[in-house]
Amino acid sequence: MKLTCTLLLALFSYSVFAQSGTIKGRITTESGAPAELMHVILKGTGKGTTTSATGEFALPGLSAGNYLLIATGIGYKTIEQKVALSADETATLSLVAQENAQELQTVEITGRRETTYTNDVSFIGSKTATVLREVPQAVSYVTKEVLRDQGAFTMGDAVKNMSGVNQFTFYDDLTIRGFRMNGGSTTQLFNGLRTFSGFWKQPPVNYLERVEVIKGAASALYGNTSPGGTINRVTKKPLTTPQKSLLFTTGSFNTMRVLADFTGPMNESKTLLYRLNLGYVNAQSFRNLQFDKNIIVAPSVSFLPTSKTRINFDLVYNNSNSRLDRGQSVKGNDLYSSSTATSLNAVNDYLKEETYLITTSLNHQFTQNTSFNLAYLRTGYTEDLLEHRSSNTNAVDSLGKAIDNLVARQVFIRKTKSFMDNVSLFLNNNFRTGRAEHKLVVGYDYIQSTTPKGSGQQTANGYLLKTGGVTTSYNAKRPDLYQFYAYTENGITRNIPRPNVPSYDLTRQNNQLEDPSKYVYNVTTNASTTPIFYSLHGIYAQEQIKLDRLQILLALRYDTYIDKKGYTTATESNVTQHALLPRIGAVYSLTKNVNLYGTYTKGYNPQDATVQSDPTSGGPFDPIKSSLTEFGLKTEWLNGRLTANASVYDITQSNTLYSANAPDQPNLMMQIGQERAKGVEFDVTGNILPHWNMIVTYSYNDAKITDAGSRAADQVLVNMQKPNAPKHQGSLWTKYTFVTQALNGLGLGFGTNFVTERNLSLNNVQTIPAYALLNAALYYKIDKFQFQVNLNNLANKTYWVGGYDYLRLFPGPPRNFMATVSYTF
């Protein structure tokens, strides 16, 4: 009996000591945050656990041997780690979980965990979560980390990091590959849905996860879009881990910004997540009388009731109070004859805008390979405006001769409201046929844009008649009809016709308090106040086929466009147009790191409904048609930390509208026969080292008028470079963070961007010069605080980002700085 007990005790002791080994460790994300609630198992043993709130796990009581540890979690790539365990050993692992947006969602509902300059996956290029190097079209992007490091706050700050994207003015107004797109049109995307903005102000970016541009027409996915490219603003979505940050910025031009970003779970099960971005901005400008006050509220809530169903709600509300800045005017053809601070406003001018964007989306996975997506976006915009601005011409003397010192002015008083609805639903299905993998997308879009009755504008301009009336222009052959006053310039006095609105004297800089009640007004029909109703119905199908190294993308969309001519009037009628839009693309993996791609797409754009409805525009006009052919390389290096892409493209577009530049008919347009843009683009983005970030871009763009239509007078336009389309532009931005003990927490940033000479208007062509800017930044991080100083335009370069003509130039700011303190907790 004693012997039996001894043997049992020995066997028990052997069993205990033989299984006393432990595998433990910690899993973090690529940004260093703990990866919570990941499932950790030892394959084939039945043993498993879940990571804690700190990302830690432990698997005790293991016998000696070789194990395969597998860690999985929603939104992360599967981790596999071999572990050899000796008797009585504790093996400690440190693992990094990489984000996998393809497994996370087929639409973006929960937030991006990456905190780098690179973004691996996008939904804009294919309406599926596709690795960017597998999208057969150029896609540029800027992440929130770039925007933070550069101290960026508006879209204009963001797009300078993208090849082929250039400002047309300093409104929400850009050219992409030489083709203009602006916030007043309905061809922007917001979380992948169609929207517009108020045009006059660039949207803030503090609530955005990233800004991305799909180059070339995206018509086969989104309907009528610009042939140069389409901008998509992606909002920050909720995260499963709590994060909070506060940011305070002050600096040049009496700038003050207070921003906040809070996110995390709202319940223990983490099925209800939230994110809240807040912003208050109060800033003056280097431009006379200009200011901008913004209140931004952007909440987001994600509900994940099951592993297969995800619901998201986003709201962005922006209340803006500012003045509308129509740009700088100069004397004659001398760009340097007036200060870049020169604006033509009166002290009592104002622009009050209110914008909201409400997005609701649902994603349900029926099976692992089949999902349904439904999204709705409502956009609302109101505008209340009083402005003194240029009449796009100089004042004249009694002989009708222009006076360089005097810019004729006009006054607008305007109230408008505009709304847009976009419903998008599509079905994703992944399947295999033999060796081929398929991704099928079938969908339907409905878009509706309205400017309801009730908007209106009053305009005061022209010259005063002796009878007390007003005429829009001066007739030098009948001076007896006009009132006159004496104007003295350089000691010489002469009589000039008295304007309805006082002219702006560039010599005297007469910005003052004006009395708008003294002017004679006309109630005018304006494109932005004419009631409009525009709608689009679109059905589409897209197939992505992958066979070994080759991937083929085939897409076809059928759109029906409906404009209500004479909307809200007794003669209201429907104008219906149809378009069939194909897209063909291919990607071939030359090596593990290099993909070759090609694409061909066609685009179709009915002319803007506001222009078509405006009886003073000279319309109706034929629709815009376009085509894109593009080839390129997409490469990935340094274990995915660095991407380098190149593209060659050829775009043609017919029936584009341009301003006729008729002083007496400011809304008159002319239609050009054909334009063509050919070019090359390069983009390098990522980390050379984990603590060394870099963005390098370059583009060559030959964007010309190739057919000026049938009018003989317009033939001089052939081979003319398109307005605000530079032939060369590029940028560099790099940030280096020291990791040595002596300099730990210190970082330096440096950047430059250049743009070559550009044409302005097509008629009476004027140009603005090339420029190159130098920028720098200094960072110091200690614990949860970061101190940051951004120095912009170090050389104090005088330059212009764009313009219409020499009476409407848009200068860039002189040397300036912004100092930021941020606290993350």
Residue 103: predicted pLDDT = 44
Give per-residue pLDDT as tens, 433-453. 988 989 999 999 999 999 999
Residue 613: predicted pLDDT = 63
Among 173, 203, 233, identify where a domain stops. Answer: 233
Q: What b/e readout covers 436-453, taking b as 16+ CB neighbours within 10 angstroms?
A: eeebbbebebebbbbbee
Residue 759: predicted pLDDT = 94
Mean pLDDT within 249-257: 97
Q: Is the pLDDT of residue 704 over 50?
A: yes
375: domain CATH number is 2.40.170.20
Q: How confident is the model at residue 345 (pLDDT cuts 50, 70, 90)?
A: very high
Q: Which of 248, 400, 407 is nearest to 327 (CA)?
A: 407
Residue 428 lies in a domain: yes
Q: Is 764 left (phi over 0), alpha (psi -120 to 50) or beta?
A: left
Q: Which of 768, 769, 770 is nearest to 805 (CA)?
A: 768
Q: How confident is the model at residue 327 (pLDDT cuts 50, 70, 90)?
A: very high
Pairing of strands 758-759, 692-707: unpaired
789 contact partners, CB below 8 Å, separation of at least 6 = 777, 778, 817, 818, 819, 820
Mean pLDDT within 719-746: 94
Total domains in the chain come to 3
The rounded distance, in Å, linking the Cα atoms of 339 and 331 is 11
Query: For 222, phi and psi rounded to 5 degrees?
Result: -120, 5
Q: Are residues 609 and 579 in the same domain?
A: yes
Q: Are residues 575 and 613 in the same domain?
A: yes
Mean pLDDT within 115-127: 81
What's 600-647 look like in SS3?
EEEEEECCCHHHHHCCCCCCCCCCEEEEEEEEEEEEEECCCCEEEEEE
742 contact partners, CB below 8 Å, separation of at least 6 = none
Q: Is the pLDDT of residue 668 over 90?
A: no
- Could you give the 3-state DSSP secondary structure of residue 318? strand
Q: Are residues 283 and 184 in the same domain?
A: no
Q: Are residues 43 and 140 in the same domain?
A: no
Residue 687 lies in a domain: yes
Residue 112 lies in a domain: yes
Among 62, 97, 132, identify where a domain stops. Answer: 97
Residue 482 lies in a domain: no
- Could you give the 3-state DSSP secondary structure of residue 221? helix
Which of residues 3 and 643 earns the better pLDDT score? 643
Residue 110: predicted pLDDT = 63
Residue 487 lies in a domain: no
Give per-residue pLDDT as tens, 17-34. 445 789 999 999 876 778
Q: Are residues 262 and 389 in the same domain?
A: yes
126 by Cβ neighbours in 10 Å (0-12 / 13-18 / 19+) ranks as buried
Q: Are residues 605 and 746 in the same domain?
A: yes
Residue 486 lies in a domain: no
Winning range, highest mean pLDDT, from 89-103, 585-599, 696-710: 585-599
Bond before 452 cis per omega within 30 degrees: no
Residue 607: predicted pLDDT = 75
Q: Are residues 305 and 324 in the same domain?
A: yes
85: domain CATH number is 2.60.40.10
Which amino acid appears at position 621 of this protein? F
Residue 810 lies in a domain: yes
Q: Are residues 138 and 40 in the same domain?
A: no
Q: Which of 710, 708, 802 is nearest to 763 (CA)?
A: 708
Give per-residue pLDDT as tens, 329-343. 999 999 999 999 999
Q: Are residues 150 and 21 in the same domain?
A: no
Q: Are residues 627 and 731 in the same domain?
A: yes
Give per-residue pLDDT as tens, 355-390. 999 999 999 988 878 999 999 999 999 999 999 999
- The residue whose two tokens read 């170090």 is 794
Residue 8: predicted pLDDT = 44
Q: Are residues 91 and 119 in the same domain?
A: no
Residue 357: predicted pLDDT = 97
Q: Are residues 749 and 603 in the same domain?
A: yes
E strand segments, 86-145: 90-97, 121-122, 130-131, 139-143
Q: Which of 619, 608, 567, 611 is nearest to 454 (CA)?
A: 567
Residue 504 lies in a domain: no
Mean pLDDT within 276-285: 97
Residue 186: predicted pLDDT = 62
Q: Following CA atoms 715, 719, 724, 729 in sequence, which dihedral angle do they give, to the nearest 10 degrees?
A: 180
Among 48, 68, 97, identify where a domain stops. Answer: 97
Q: Which of 602, 620, 653, 657 is nearest to 223 (CA)?
A: 602
Q: How confident is the model at residue 658 (pLDDT cuts 50, 70, 90)?
A: confident
Which amino acid appears at position 242 of this protein? P
Residue 423 to residues 232, 250, 360: CA-CA distances in angstroms?
Answer: 16, 40, 10
Token pair of 184 as six digits = 């007043």
Q: Is the pLDDT of residue 315 over 90?
A: yes
229: domain CATH number is 2.170.130.10
Q: Is the pLDDT of residue 3 over 60?
A: no
Determine contact, residues 166/174, Cβ cutoff 8 Å.
yes
State the residue range of the domain holding 125. 104-233
Pairing of strands 188-190, 229-235: parallel
High-pLDDT (> 70) share of the chain, %:
93
Q: Is the pLDDT of residue 480 over 80?
A: yes
Q: Which of 325, 328, 392 is nearest to 667 (CA)?
A: 392
Residue 485: predicted pLDDT = 94
Token pair of 261 as six digits = 């970003």
The rounded distance, in Å, linking the Cα atoms of 158 and 150 is 9
Mean pLDDT within 622-647: 92
Name the average pLDDT for the chain.
89
Token pair of 463 as six digits = 């010259």
